[in-house]
Amino acid sequence: MRGLAIVTDSYAVYYFSATGNSFLVASSLTQRLGVPEPISIPGTLILDDPYEAARTATKVGFVFPVHRATVPEMVSGFITQMPARSDCYYFAISTHSWFGCNEFWDIDEILNAKGAALNFASSIRMTGSLGVVPPSEYRINKRIAQIQPQLDEIAEEISNSQERYFRPAIKSLNEIVRRFTIFRRQRIKFHIDEQCKQCGICAQVCPARNIELLNTGIDVAEDNRAPVRSDKCQACYACLHWCPINAISTSYQLHNRYHNPQVTPDQLNQVPFVSSESDIEKEEDALIA
C-alpha cells in the first residue's frame, strides 16, 4: 500500500506596528497557529534579504494598522518588492480604531501584478489613538479580551486555507489619500519640550529609523535637546505615543497619546535572526544609531 504524503504548511507572518496593537495581534495569531514568531517589517529592512522567510513559506501573512484609509506606506513598499508566487496562500489582518477602507484591495492589486492574489483578509477593531478622550487601561484591556474569539476564528480559517473575501473598496479615495499623505508628511512638525530626558525610546520605536539623539550627555543645551528627524517619517506617531513623559507633540492635534499596555517598545521593530556577517554589521550599526 502506497503511503500518503503529509504536507506541512510553513509560515512567514510580517507585521508593522506603531502603537503595539498590530504586534499584539500578530503575536497572538502566530501563537494560535503554532508557528514562528512574527517578523517586523522595519526590522527586516536592514538585512541583505528581507524576504528570506517568504521565499520558502507556503503561507505568508501581513498584520498592520490602517493608516489614512489604506496600508502604511512601508508595508505597501515591502509587499511591492517582495517576490510573490501563485502557489502561495497570502493573508492580511488590519487593525483599526474606527474603520478600514482600501487596505485589502490595495494589497490584492500589488499581488495581482505579480501573478498572485490575497486569499484571506480580516480586520480587527481595537482601542486606539483616535478620539476625543484618551482611553483608560481598563477599556483597552477589555477590548483586547473581546477580540480573542475573533482571533481564534481567524487562526482556524487560515490554518484550513479558507478563502475570505474583503469589503468593497472606495477606489476614488486612493488618489485623495496619496495626496493627503504627501501633504501631511511635508508639513508635519514635531516639537520636543524641555521635559525631554533623551531616553531614546522615540528612536527605538520609530519604524523608519528616522530619529537620532543629538546629545546624550547630562548637560543638554536647549537647542540640542530634541532628536533629529530626517525625511523618512511614516507619520505613524509612534514617537509621540511611546514618549514616557509626553515631551513630544505635533502640529496636528488629531491623536490621543496611546500605546498598547500589553506591549513593550523593544517588541516593535525587532531585527530577525541574522545569518551573515554583513547583516550582523548592519544590525550593530542600527543599534548604535
Q: Using one digit for the tens of pLDDT, what is the confidence trace for 210-259?
A: 888 776 444 444 444 567 777 788 888 899 999 999 998 887 666 778 89
Is 213 within 8 Å of 204 (Cβ atoms)?
no
| CATH number of the domain to which 36 belongs | 3.40.50.360
**What are the tens digits of pLDDT across the range 36-86?**
999 999 999 888 899 999 999 999 999 999 988 789 999 999 999 999 999
Cα 284 to Cα 266: distance, rounded to the nearest angstrom:
15
Q: Which domain holds residue 17?
A: 11-173
- 166 and 195 both lie in a single domain: no
Residues 76 and 23 grouped into a single domain: yes
Please give the mean pLDDT across all residues of the chain: 83
Say whether both 95 and 192 belong to one domain: no
One domain for residues 68 and 126:
yes
My answer on whether 58 and 143 are in the same domain is yes
Q: Do 160 and 189 fall into the same domain?
A: no
pTM of structure: 0.85
Average pLDDT over residues 193-215: 86
Q: What's the pLDDT score for residue 234? A: 86
Same domain, 148 and 264: no
| Domain total of the chain | 2
Quote the crossing angle between the two packed helices 73-81 and 103-112, to the nearest 10°. Answer: 20
CATH number of domain containing 221? 3.30.70.20
Residue 248 phi, psi dihedral angles, 5° rounding: -105, 135
Q: Can you read off the three cell numbers belonging to residue 101? A: 477602507
In Å, how far are 27, 55, 87, 228 from 205, measured between CA atoms? 17, 27, 35, 14
Distances (CA, A) of 189 to 18, 148, 192, 197: 18, 37, 10, 20
Kindly state the cell numbers that stand for 60: 505568508
Say whether pLDDT at 113 is over 90: yes
Nearest to residue 61, comparing CAs of 98, 96, 97, 27?
A: 27
Please state, as a whole number, how many other Cβ atoms lie within 10 Å of the Cβ of residue 20: 25
Instruction: Kindly state whether residue 220 falls inside one of the protein's structural domains.
Output: yes
Cα 179 to Cα 97: distance, rounded to the nearest angstrom: 22
For residue 15, is pLDDT > 90? yes
- Whose grid coordinates read 489582518? 93
Cell 503554532, residue?
34
Task: Let me know whether 49 and 166 are in one domain.
Answer: yes
